[in-house]
Chains A and B, each alone.
Chain A
Amino acid sequence: MAATTPQAFDPDPKHLGLVMTFYAGSAILRGQVVGYADAGDTRTVIPAISTAGIPIGVALESQATTGGKVPVAMNGAVLTVMMVDDGSTLDAGHWVMTGAVAGCVIEWAPSVIGHVAVLSTGAFPVGYALKDSVLGTATAANYGSTVEIVVNTCPIWCDVN
């Protein structure tokens, strides 16, 4: 099992809900989960990661240029996202959140005790799986497991401990 190499892929939308155009705060690959940085800027998104930022959806196109435009499939979309490694598994119906690999997801961890006590850093929910995940492949550019989800972003909850 190896960590996914972030790479562009077809998120293959089965349904599009809210779609809006944002500016790329850094290079973005098609199919990556994207979100605002911790100190978010107006309509500017970056590849989402569990240690920074707030996810809002999935990039429908790649954008290599900072400041360039990128269309984002937001709440209500049904599409495929990549998981953090090639051996990741997920059952249909389970929720996913941002992971340690930029633009990729892992299974949702619901324990509020384990969540950071801040608003904008931490693993935020991205949505829930419609199907069981499909295992990835270990190649030179490691291709992570993939899973079809309904995009349904939420805040995280925490407790002071």
Chain B
Amino acid sequence: MGNNTFVAIDPDPIHLDLVKTFIAKTAILRGAVVSFHDTGVSREVIPATSSTGTAIGVALNSQATVGGEVTVAMQGSVVKVMVSTDNVGIDAGHWVTSSAIASCVVELDPVVSTHAAGEAGFRILGYTIDDITAGALATGYIVINVMPRWSLSA
């Protein structure tokens, strides 16, 4: 099993709902899952990971320049995302979260006692509508439906 290294992909939207423009706090690639930083700054986003930030959607364009604009498909949109590891498939209908690999997703771990407290930690991004077949740089469609994560930690 190997980690995917995210490369720019066409998120190929089936449906766009809420779409807003944000400022790139670091370089962002098209199709990346993006989030606010832990100590979020107004309308600034970064590539999302499971160790930092609050995922909000998927970048519709690449932005190499810090401070440049990036358009983000948000709640209700139906777009493609990349899975974080190359030999893991995801069944249709399963929920996905931000992952250890920046910009990618992984299947939701629903066990609250394993979840970190506070702002750092994975966030729920949405659910798949198609089976995603395991493979290098595997991608699949999700319905974006972000929400907070629950934990047992203080």
CB distance from A66 to the nearest CB of B (A): 16
Q: Judge if A155 is at the interface, Cβ distance under 8 Å.
A: yes
- Whether the pair A159, B17 counts as a contact (CB closer than 8 A) is no
CA distance A118 to B14 in the complex (A): 29
A76 CB within 8 Å of chain B: yes
Q: Which residues of B contact A17 (CB under 8 A)?
A: 17, 76
Given contacts A76-B76, A156-B110, A157-B110, contact A36 B91 (CB under 8 A): yes
Q: Which residues of B contact A35 (CB under 8 A)?
A: 93
Q: How many angstroms from the CA of A39 to the CA of B91 in the assembled complex?
A: 6
B112-128 vs A, CB cutoff 8 Å, 1 = contact: the mask equals 11000000000010011
Stretch of A41-49, A99-107, A139-147 on the interface side: A41-49
Verify if A80 is at the interface (C-beta below 8 Å from B).
no
User: Are the CB atoms of A18 and B15 closer together than 8 Å?
Assistant: yes
A36-B91, A155-B124 given; A43·B129 CB < 8 A: yes
Q: Give every chain A residue within 8 A of B108 (Cβ-Cβ).
A: 119, 155
B45 at the interface (CB under 8 A from A): no
The count of chain A contact residues (Cβ–Cβ below 8 Å) is 33
Give the residue name and chain of the A residue nearest to B145 (CB): A75
B130 interface hit (Cβ, 8 Å): yes
Q: How far is the CB of B76 from chain A (nearest CB, A)?
A: 6
Most-contacted residue by chain A among B76, B110, B129 (CB, 10 A): B110
* CB-defined contacts of B93 to chain A, threshold 8 Å: 35-37, 40, 53-54, 56, 120
Partner of A40, one of B124, B131, B150: B131
Q: Contact: B76 with A56, CB < 8 Å?
A: no
Q: In the complex, what residues of A have CB within 8 A of residue B17's CB?
A: 17-18, 76
Q: B152 within 8 Å of A by Cβ?
A: yes
Q: Does B95 contact A (CB under 8 A)?
A: yes
CB pair A155–B143 under 8 Å, yes or no, is: no
Contact A153 B145 (CB under 8 A): yes
Residues of A close to B78: CB separation below 8 A: 18, 20
Interface residues of A (CB under 8 A from B): 17-18, 20, 35-44, 53-54, 56, 74-76, 112, 115, 117-120, 153-160
- 18 further contact pairs, Cβ within 8 A, besides A40-B92, A155-B147: A17-B76, A18-B17, A20-B14, A20-B129, A35-B93, A41-B131, A42-B130, A43-B130, A75-B76, A75-B145, A119-B108, A155-B95, A155-B127, A156-B110, A159-B111, A159-B112, A159-B113, A159-B152
Q: List 30 A-B contacts (CB under 8 A).
A: A17-B76, A18-B15, A18-B17, A20-B14, A20-B15, A20-B129, A35-B93, A36-B93, A36-B94, A40-B94, A40-B128, A41-B91, A41-B92, A42-B131, A43-B130, A54-B95, A56-B129, A75-B76, A75-B145, A76-B76, A112-B112, A117-B110, A119-B95, A119-B108, A153-B127, A155-B147, A156-B110, A159-B111, A159-B112, A160-B111
By Cβ-Cβ distance, the 8 closest A-B pairs, closest first, are: A36-B93, A40-B92, A40-B93, A54-B93, A42-B130, A40-B91, A155-B95, A42-B131
